[in-house]
Amino acid sequence: MSTETLHSLVLDGHGGCREATAEEVAQGRSTEGLLWLHLDHSVDEASTWMRQRSGIDEVVVEALLAPSPRPRSLVSGAGLLVVLRGIHARDGAEPDEMVSVRIWLEQDRCITLRQRRLAAMTEVAGQLRAGHGPDDAGELLHEITERLLDRIEDVVQGIEDRTDDLEERVLTAEGRQVRTQLSDLRRQSIALRRYIAPQRDAIGRLHTERVPWMSELTRARLRESSDRITRYLETIDACRERAAVTYEELGNRLAEQMNHTMYILSVVAAIFLPLGLLTGLLGINVGGMPGADEPRAFAIVTVLLVVGGIAEWVWFKRRLF
């Protein structure tokens, strides 16, 4: 097992690590410290090793290799199964595009699996190689959780900033553009909440799960992580409600503008309707038309139409505006 092993580290218990040997990777154990194997579960060799050589219960293995598992946490014997989701590290990925990371933790080993790249896992491995990473399995779980939440925090903050911006722009910006952006914001908020809500429950259970190798300090830190993701969820809910209110306000403003435009057009039509009736009457081609032989008749009629139009405008202005 080589190409599917993304990280294979043995923690020294003091924040550092070394690269695992091929024998340690093949056996999935190390006698010198916690072994962390980070695998790509889409590779056949990795899934085969998990099923045949990892020594993990078959039910747990199937949960780890499931195509699209929901975030959850579960104690199985002396081990802990955790499924979380993080922001996809691919350039151009949508803010709400989240991928799953599957974690199996025991006192002396940690196996993590993913299909698409997560920057959080690379960051934790970098901390270990730099000598200031986690010391044990519990701290490794907490550190992975925190790095995942850091990425989620960036996305949630971006949604909140966009909500603030759209609330200000709704009074001045072109309606159709703002409507499209509000719809996109609501869609992202709904999609992100669909992933974060079960993740909150999964992280919330971590500090209550009783496994002998997890210290009270780690439980307290995981409790803080649970409170942290709860705040993100509340922020998303608030932004979604604000976007809905802003969307309604924008609709009301557009309707008001439309009503005002139709009102002006109605007034203009009301002014020109009698004038058009009069000019149409004078334009009929029959005998006996008054002023037909009078050279000044056209000027007189024009002046009367202008005076009549001004009189109608003054009347409408006093009565309706």
Domain boundaries, the chain: 5-253, 261-320
Torsion angle, alpha carbons of 209, 109, 138, 156, to 10: -90
pLDDT in tens, 33-54: 899 999 988 888 888 888 888 8
CATH number of 5-253: 3.30.460.20
Burial 11-24 (b: 16+ CB within 10 A, else e): bbeeebbeebeeeb
Please answer whether residues 282 and 300 qualify as being in contact, where contact means their C-beta atoms are separated by less than 8 angstroms: no
Provide φ and ψ at 81, rounded to 5°: -95, 125
pLDDT at 83: 92
To the question of domain 261-320 being in CATH 1.20.58, the answer is yes
Say if residue 95's pLDDT is above 60: no
pLDDT at 172: 67
Residues 6+ apart with CB under 8 A from 171: 253
How far apart CA 177 and CA 303 sit, in angstroms, is: 47
pLDDT in tens, 203-261: 888 877 778 888 889 888 989 999 999 999 999 999 888 888 888 877 777 777 788 88
How far apart CA 178 and CA 170 sit, in angstroms, is: 7
pTM: 0.76
261-320: same fold as 5-253? no
Burial 202-212 (b: 16+ CB within 10 A, else e): bbbbbbeeebe
Q: How many CB atoms lie within 10 A of CB 246?
A: 21
Provide φ and ψ at 233, rounded to 5°: -65, -40
Say if residue 89's pLDDT is above 90: no
